Amino acid sequence: MSKIPCTPVIFVKLWATAALVFLMGLLQPDCVQAHRMLMQEKKPGVLFVYYEGRVPAAEAVVTLLDERDEVLWQGKADAQGRFYFDPRLGSRMARADDGQGHRVVYDLEESVLEEGILFIGDHLPLTMRVALGVGMIFLLFGGLYLWSTRGRRKKNAHS
Q: Nearest Cα to 34, choosing from 106, 102, 132?
A: 102
Report the CATH number at residue 112.
2.60.40
Sign of the Cα torsion 99, 94, 33, 139 reads negative
Number of domains comprising the chain: 2
pLDDT tens string 25-56:
766 655 555 578 889 888 888 999 998 878 89
pLDDT tens string 107-137:
887 754 344 444 455 556 777 778 888 888 9
pTM for the whole thing?
0.52
Residues 23 and 59 in one domain: no
| Residue 3 falls inside a structural domain | no
pLDDT over 90 (residue 64):
yes
Residues 85 and 100 in one domain: yes
Per DSSP (E only), the strands in the chain are 37-43, 46-51, 55-56, 61-65, 71-76, 82-84, 93-97, 103-107
